[in-house]
Structure 1
Amino acid sequence: MSIVFVGTYTKDNQSDGVYAFRMDDTTGAWTRIAQNIPKINNPSFLVADRKNHRLFATGEVGEGIVAAFRYDPVSGALTFVNQQPSQGADPCHLSVLKTGSHVLVANYSSGTFAMLPVSADGSLRPATDTIQDSGTGPNKGRQEGPHAHSINLDTSNKLAYGCDLGTDKVMIFRPNPKTGKLVPNDPAFAAVHPGGGPRHFAFHPKKPVVYSINELDCTVTVFAWDKVSGALRELQTITTLPRPYQPTDSCADVHVSADGKFLYGSNRGHDSIAIFAIGADGKLTTVGNESTQGKTPRNFAIDPSGNFLFAANQNSNTIVAYKIDKKTGKLTATGAKIEVPAPVCIVFG
């Protein structure tokens, strides 16, 4: 059995905030775990520190917060620990250092990235560093200023990549756990094409390539990645849609399969998961698109075995389960739909 946590939007008080489930690793079926924990407003992104059995959640509100929980790895029971200001408005993404010593947060509306230390008991301490991004992009409605949308650690934890949707840049930092600082790298950023709007980011598990999914024009940019210098060099940009882009379309999440053979990305508006095969050079070839059987798939997750993909349909209050064909990368719906109010993040404990 695996433990799964789901973050939601709590609008209209219809959601309990963070939900917990047990997953049958053979069938992919979910069973809800009853919880009685303090309700966090808009826990729209979660990250698990599996080594220390901790869960961190954003509180995506005007003056944002990051909340800390402990969880029982067997029962899935959550215990609220504390919360701290996220150092910005509308925090929407988190990463945790593999030692568990610090949490990194991206604040969308204020365009800030921050670093918060974690105490030995799992409680968060006030931020030790905040980086204010600056700049604009050509999309007047969405790129009037910086919009930090994710902060992503490489496996060495020596580099962190922050996608800024508002400036068409992927910012590059070197988090220093000794000083608690997010030190700007040299080079300090990599650019995506104007108006792309980089949102989420994925590392290939074996190749020196990384992927940025670009919200504003539904594309994925493939970068060659220098693991030493941190530099990124664009190799390819490819559409996630099987038809021409429409103004109601936008991308959201991106993940690479554990074996490194396939990349998946979510399309809102088209309401599908885009499927790509990954070549020897890391470049992408379109395999197809699978309907998410709901509206607005903001987030999705692949289970630790790599057998199942779960798509969270924010505006139809469902999480839909798919079996992954590991030879072709294609998805087949299992028939399972989990009812959750406004689900927007799925993370395995």
Structure 2
Amino acid sequence: MNTTRLLLAALAAALVGCQTADTTAPAPKAAAKAAPKPAPAQYVFYVGTSGAKAPGILRCVLDGKTGKISVPTVAAEAKSASYVALSPDAKFLYATAEAAEGAVAAYAVEGDKLRLLNTEASKGKGPTHLVVDAAGRNLVVVNYGSGSTTALPIKADGSFAPATSSIQHVGSGPNAGRQAGPHAHGVYFHPKNGRAYVADLGTDDIFIYRFDAEKGLLTPNKPKSGRVTAGEGPRHLAFHPSGKFAYVNTEMGLNVVAFAVAGNGGLNEIQSLPTLPAGADKKGVSTAEIFVRANGKTLYVSNRGHDSIAVYAIALDGKLTLLQHMLGTPATPRGFGLSADGRWLVCAGQKSGTLNAYRIGQDGKLTDTKQSVEAAGSAAIVFVP
């Protein structure tokens, strides 16, 4: 009997010892964070140009360490290629083109050159901005002169088929000199909901369209638009990568307007901030370009005439806080572009005829590298991803 009890007691003690050993075992180490990717040795970007001295579509290379920009080479001779966009795979480039009633041009990327595939009518006057859908199957272009939006299918070889949808905008604004009628100025696909958003400077609307990618069909959304304060003139737009927020720069109002994007695609204003420093002279000044950094933490807006770029921090609720005014940009900074990794910004000075490189810090602020090259008529920039 005593022997049995002793054996049971010994067994119980052994079990307790095992449990104690298990509970004191060292916890597995947390997985180490992946090291940030090293910066590429170089970045390639294209420049759209316009005006009497514009040579066509330019190709440049930026040094990933110094920001030095190569002397631009003419990738394709073209007239009025004031805005350019790449296909998602960067095998094709699309540009606005000069024609009696407006046109767009498709190019194949072949080394450091662009080969013209074809042109198609934009179904309006003065095409000024365009965008390719995420699948690379459609292009949407807006016509500033006639105030309209047009969709064109993209064929497997990268060329255009004739337009499948075109919508004429209707409306006006209180600025008689700039808003006597509609002037569609920028078009953007939402990163999540598939809708196309068009900033119309003439009507103060951001028109919203449902888009059927299979049919290339644009149809008005419900609600049909978001709006800025009358007379401000929305020019361009940038979505937050989450799709929850949209930011619009007003050309005449000199503001950046933040919107929350609703489930039905609608835009609800949450904030409006000036793009100029307090007390700055507004005469002859207008905003031009706007982009959100890929990490969604900072936003950039250029001011023509004041020749500056306003930098804002983006909070989790989508609201903005001014971080910096980068002064002394190239004269009349009509366009700029951000590298896909968010390390570089290149600004195009339409009046100065130069391209300038800015390093983007971890906090989103810009540092002027003092690297600049001549590029006559430069108006828009797109980096190769």
Sort the TM-score into its range (normalised by shorter chain).
over 0.9
CA distance in 2, matches of 1:338, 1:36: 16
Deviation at 1:77, TM superposition (A): 2.4
Structure 2 counterpart of 1:97, from 121, 133, 138:
133
Over 6 Å off, 4+ runs: none
**Runs of at least 5 residues in structure 2 that lack an aligned partner in the other structure:** 1-41
2:329 and 2:347 in contact (8 A); partners too: no
1:24 aligns with 2:63: yes
Q: Find the partner of 1:205 among 238, 241, 249.
A: 241
- 1:15 is aligned to 54
Contact 1:97/1:157 (8 A) holds in 2:
no
Q: Which amino acid aligns with 2:366?
A: L
Structure 1: which 5+ runs fail to align? none
Instruction: Quote how far apart the aligned CAs of 1:251 are.
Output: 0.4
Note the 1:303-342 alignment, pairs <5 A: 303-327=339-363, 329-342=364-377
Q: Which residue identity is paired with 2:94? A: F
Report the alpha carbon displacement of residue 184 of structure 1 after superposing the two structures with TM. Answer: 0.9
Structure 1 position 244, deviation (Å): 4.5
Aligned counterparts of 2:102 and 2:132: Cα–Cα separation in 1: 18
Q: What is the CA-CA distance between 1:126 and the residue it aligns to? A: 1.2
**Is 2:82 the counterpart of 1:68?**
no
Q: Is the 8 A contact 1:207 1:282 kept in 2?
A: no
1:3 corresponds in structure 2 to: 44
Q: CA deviation at 1:154?
A: 1.3
Instruction: Trace 1:235-250 onto structure 2 (pairs within 5 A).
Output: 235-242=270-277, 243-244=279-280, 246-250=282-286
Q: 1:292 Cα deviation (Å)?
A: 4.0
TM-score scaled by length of structure 2:
0.85
Structure 1 residue 45: deviation in Å? 0.3
Counterpart check, 1:45 vs 2:83: yes
Higher Cα radius of gyration: 2
2: CA distance, partners of 1:306 / 1:208 = 20
Instruction: Please say if residues 98 and 157 of structure 1, whose CA atoms lie closer than 8 Å, have aligned partners that are also in contact.
Output: no
Instruction: Write the distance in 2 (CA, Å) between the matches of 1:282 and 1:170.
Output: 18
Letter in 2 for 1:269: G
> 2:71, 2:373 within 8 Å by CA — same for their partners in 1?
no
> Following the alignment from structure 1 to structure 2, what is the Cα–Cα distance between the partners of residues 33 and 320?
12
Q: How does 1:252-331 map to 2 (within 5 A)?
A: 252-327=288-363, 329-331=364-366
Quick one: which amino acid aligns to residue 29 of structure 1? Answer: K
Give distance in 2, aligned partners of 1:61 and 1:197. 26
Deviation for aligned residue 1:10:
3.9
Query: Superposition pairs for residues 143-182 of structure 1, below 5 Å?
Result: 143-156=179-192, 158-182=194-218
SS at match of 1:31: coil
* Distance of 1:296 and 1:10 partners within structure 2: 14
Quote the sequence identity (%). Answer: 40
1:177/1:93 CA distance change after superposition, 3 Å: same
Write the letter of the residue equivalent to 2:259.
F
Farther-moved stretch of structure 1 (318-327 vs 20-29):
20-29
